[in-house]
């Protein structure tokens, strides 16, 4: 594999679906999985099969439904979890078991109530057991973001020796700063023997709004897989947003990193996930929000009408958005008004425009947004 290609591991159907109220049935999951395949993701994390019979069934059916992406099932470092995950993956053409355990002091002392030595033993046993079912085994060190780099390197060394193929370094609580997270990945690359045979993976949560920045820092530090979700949905403040990391790599060619994602399907995929889960995308969400390509202030509208890239760094067509929008509000100027009249088929003179603009401002002060119908009314009133 090309060393600069970043694999996209989509966990919308697992970490994303954990969000309260976002539960999907198998049919809805299948529709999303097929769309993810079209989008070009490398891995679909299809579920956590031990968690419920429904999740088990979904993983099974997704395994049948998709051909290209690897289908991945989550488990804890528990024998029964791993057996059920392996069973659910029997239908998959390319299967991966994702197993792991908490590695931070907080998880070791308070959640697992055990010792660091026992964590390493359980991690190794889990990887070895998963390897007895499938070749491709991803290990996650839960709360790696708050785990000391030295202990993390010990755990990762042990699972590399046990045969893990992918090493997931989750910032489970969204705690890290981008430089810290990037250095963590680089530290592991420098201090774990044999790590170059494995793929290092980022898995960042967004509690401080840093999930995307941390994932990119991780990729710059040497990770070659990014775990993310459509629209950034996920536990608490969510996971890294797939659309954001993909477009950052496209916009910043200097990073030298790229993915297999067909970005023209990003908006369509975002709508599908949002509608299936009943989870509204915030209007100002980067890339896929309703306002991501909308311009409402006079200064910006004037610039965009003259040349789109004065205020837009992404061509909307690249992410599947029809065109940029000029929204008419009380902050809009004459240029935007003339532009909208022109689109409606009216070529108004400068003098007419001055009069219409005064009327427009009166309407705009009453309404949040001036619609095409309002403009038609204004024109009718002048003839």
Interface residue list for ligand KIV (CB under 6 A): 15, 140, 142, 168, 170, 172, 203, 205
Rounded to the nearest whole angstrom, what is the least distance from the CB of residue 18 to ligand KIV in the complex? 8
Rounded to the nearest whole angstrom, what is the least distance from the CB of residue 114 to ligand KIV in the complex? 18
Compute the distance between CA of residue 59 and CA of residue 48 in angstroms, rounded to an integer. Answer: 8
Question: Which is closer to ligand KIV, CB of 233 or CB of 319?
Answer: 233
142 binding Zn ion? (CB under 5 A): no
Question: Which is closer to ligand KIV, CB of 94 or CB of 98?
Answer: 98
Compute the distance between CA of residue 333 and CA of residue 82 in angstroms, rounded to an integer. Answer: 62
Question: Which is closer to Zn ion, CB of 59 or CB of 169?
Answer: 169
42 binding Zn ion? (CB under 5 A): no
Rounded to the nearest whole angstrom, what is the least distance from the CB of residue 42 to ligand KIV in the complex? 16
Rounded to the nearest whole angstrom, what is the least distance from the CB of residue 238 to Zn ion in the complex? 10
Compute the distance between CA of residue 235 and CA of residue 239 in angstroms, rounded to an integer. Answer: 7
Report the residue from 10, 15, 42, 138 that binds Zn ion according to the rule CB under 5 A.
Answer: 15
How many residues comprise the chain?
A: 383
Q: Which of 4, 129, 31 is nearest to 78 (CA)?
A: 129
**Distance set, CA 216 to CA 14, 43, 109, 149, 261 (Å):** 22, 18, 31, 19, 16
Question: Which is closer to ligand KIV, CB of 122 or CB of 205?
Answer: 205
Give which of ligand KIV, Zn ion, none residue 140 binds (C-beta under 5 to 8 Å, depending on kind). Answer: ligand KIV
Give which of Zn ion, ligand KIV, none residue 142 binds (C-beta under 5 to 8 Å, depending on kind). Answer: ligand KIV
The DSSP 8-state label assigned to residue 280 in this structure reads: P
Give which of ligand KIV, Zn ion, none residue 60 binds (C-beta under 5 to 8 Å, depending on kind). Answer: none
Compute the distance between CA of residue 302 and CA of residue 161 in angstroms, rounded to an integer. Answer: 60
Q: Which of 149, 123, 116, 151 is nearest to 138 (CA)?
A: 123
Question: Which is closer to Zn ion, CB of 10 or CB of 15?
Answer: 15
Burial class (CB in 10 A: 0-12, 13-18, 19+), 255: middle
CA 380 to chain centre: 47
Question: Which is closer to ligand KIV, CB of 88 or CB of 172?
Answer: 172
Question: Which is closer to ligand KIV, CB of 203 or CB of 295?
Answer: 203
Radius of gyration over every alpha carbon of the chain, rounded to an integer in angstroms = 25
Stretch that binds Zn ion, among 9-17, 50-58, 348-356, 358-366 (CB under 5 A): 9-17
Give which of Zn ion, ligand KIV, none residue 88 binds (C-beta under 5 to 8 Å, depending on kind). Answer: none
Give which of Zn ion, ligand KIV, none residue 136 binds (C-beta under 5 to 8 Å, depending on kind). Answer: none
Give which of ligand KIV, Zn ion, none residue 324 binds (C-beta under 5 to 8 Å, depending on kind). Answer: none
Asked if 49 and 85 touch (Cβ cutoff 8 Å), the reply is yes
Beta strand extents in 91-198 (DSSP E only): 95-102, 136-142, 166-171
The DSSP 8-state label assigned to residue 155 in this structure reads: H
Alpha helices in 40-148 (DSSP H): 53-65, 79-88, 105-106, 116-131
Rounded to the nearest whole angstrom, what is the least distance from the CB of residue 93 to ligand KIV in the complex? 23
Residues of this chain that bind Zn ion (CB under 5 A): 15
């Amino acid at each position: 594999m090309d060393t600069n290609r970043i694999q996209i591991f989509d966990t919308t159907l697992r970490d994303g679906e954990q969000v309260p109220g976002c539960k999907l049935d198998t049919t809805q999951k299948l529709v999303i999985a097929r769309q993810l395949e079209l989008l070009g993701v490398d891995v679909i994390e299809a579920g956590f099969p031990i968690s419920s019979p429904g999740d088990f069934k979904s993983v099974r059916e997704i395994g049948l439904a998709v051909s290209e992406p690897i289908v991945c099932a989550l488990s804890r470092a528990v024998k029964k979890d791993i057996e059920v995950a392996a069973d659910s993956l029997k239908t998959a053409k390319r299967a991966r078991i994702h197993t792991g355990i908490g590695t931070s002091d907080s998880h070791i002392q308070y959640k697992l109530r055990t010792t660091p030595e026992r964590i390493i033993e359980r991690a190794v046993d889990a990887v070895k057991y998963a390897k007895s079912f499938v070749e491709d085994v991803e290990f996650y060190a839960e709360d790696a973001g708050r785990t000391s780099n030295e202990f993390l390197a010990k755990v990762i060394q042990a699972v590399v020796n046990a045969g893990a193929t992918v090493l997931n370094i989750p910032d489970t609580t969204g705690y890290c700063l981008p430089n810290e997270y990037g250095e963590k990945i680089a530290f592991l690359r420098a201090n774990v023997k044999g790590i170059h045979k494995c793929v290092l993976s980022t898995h960042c949560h967004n509690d401080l709004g840093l999930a995307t920045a941390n994932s990119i820092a991780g990729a710059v530090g040497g990770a070659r897989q990014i775990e993310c979700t459509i629209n950034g949905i996920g536990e608490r403040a969510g996971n890294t947003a797939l659309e954001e990391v993909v477009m950052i790599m496209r916009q910043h060619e200097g990073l030298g990193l790229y993915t297999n994602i067909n970005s023209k399907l990003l908006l369509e995929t975002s709508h599908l996930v949002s509608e299936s889960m009943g989870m509204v995308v915030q209007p100002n969400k980067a890339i896929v929000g309703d306002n991501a390509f909308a311009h409402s202030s006079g200064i910006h509208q004037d610039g965009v009408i003259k040349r789109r890239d004065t205020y837009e760094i992404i061509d909307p067509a690249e992410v599947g958005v029809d065109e940029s929008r000029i929204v008419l509000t009380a902050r809009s100027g004459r240029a935007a008004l003339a532009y909208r009249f022109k689109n409606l088929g009216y070529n108004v003179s400068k003098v007419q425009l001055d009069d219409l603009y005064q009327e427009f401002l009166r309407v705009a002060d009453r309404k949040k947004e001036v619609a095409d119908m309002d403009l038609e009314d204004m024109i009718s009133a002048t003839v």
